[in-house]
Amino acid sequence: MEATVSKRWLLARLYEPEQTIVDCRFTLGKPQAGKESFEQEHIPGAVYLDLELDLSAPVSEHGGRHPLPDPQLLAARLAKLGIGNTTRVVAYDDESGMNAARLWWLLRYLGHEQVFILEGGFSAWKAERFPVTDHQPIRIPSSFEPNVQSQMVVGVDEVRQVSVNTVEALSEARDSASTAPYDLPVLIDSRARERYLGLEETLDKKAGHIPGAVNYFWKETQNEDGSLKSAEELQEHFAQLDKDAEIIVYCGSGVTACPNVLALEKAGYKNVRLYAGSWSDWISYEGNPIATGDEK
């Protein structure tokens, strides 16, 4: 089954006991807005998880604006909400799926595969006149034992080495008028093109991108209604990437990279990893170089 589900799919299974629906709405710069919206109305049976309080660790010197949460703490939080190792989880938000994709990625990182994202999010659900409520049912705690998939995440040291190797390979290819080798890991920057190019930066202290990275804006993997494009469309979108290459995806803080991870996997890429700290972590190290403009 695909990682996304339709509104009608969820409607038909809305009250199944082995399922937990998770509201992940969150607005950057307005940390209370998501929770307040949830308390006003949400999909029946849904529980709420906060991007910064639940799905991230506290910010420190390094690790980015949304550091990965401690696996044991996250597992305990999930268990308290009634999410166990066999619970089917359906996540939604109202931010084009980026926060729901963060939960999707985190659950898989904890070894939990039964997690899906609702296409279109809450506004699309409500537009269909499907049921909403302000009622918050009592949750019966469950048991969640994390089985951390450490191979899914990449740290700054590995990214630094990949960046150096890529820049050297591109330089050698230019000097010899040949193409760069395809056996190198690929760094993907998921942010909007203006931020990748270094033309603007509204969230982080420095503008630009990790040297050697190529730009694939995460929203370009979606249709106008917020649903994920088909596998064939995504294969065309990522056509310049070698299917056998190792791919490392990052964004500003490790959140909007997750929809790109999802899209790459749907397109058939098997070796996709997340640089969780992303750009905000990269620039927290004074010695890390910064590139602007296009990678040639």
pLDDT tens, the chain, 296 aa long? 689 999 999 999 999 999 999 999 999 889 999 999 999 999 999 999 999 999 999 999 999 999 999 999 999 999 999 999 999 999 999 999 999 999 999 999 999 999 999 999 999 999 999 999 999 988 999 999 999 999 999 999 999 999 999 998 888 777 665 555 557 899 999 999 999 999 999 999 999 999 999 999 999 999 988 889 999 999 999 999 999 999 999 999 999 999 999 999 999 999 999 999 999 999 999 999 999 998 86
Ranges of each domain in the chain: 4-148, 152-282
DSSP 8-class letter at 13: T
The CATH architecture of the domain made up of 4-148 is: 3-Layer(aba) Sandwich (3.40)
- 7-46 per-residue burial string, b: 16 or more CB within 10 A, e: under 16: beebeeeeeeeebbbbbbbbbbeeeeebbebbeebbbebb
Question: Hey, what CATH topology would domain 152-282 get?
Answer: Oxidized Rhodanese; domain 1 (3.40.250)
Domains 4-148 and 152-282 share a fold: yes
DSSP states of 120-144: THHHHHHHTT---B---PPPPP---
For CA atoms 8, 4, 104, 204, the dihedral sign is: negative
What is the value of pTM for the model shown?
0.95
Catalytic residue among 251, 272, 274, 291: 251
Q: Has 24 been annotated as catalytic?
A: no
Rounded CA gap, 93 and 46, in Å?
Answer: 11
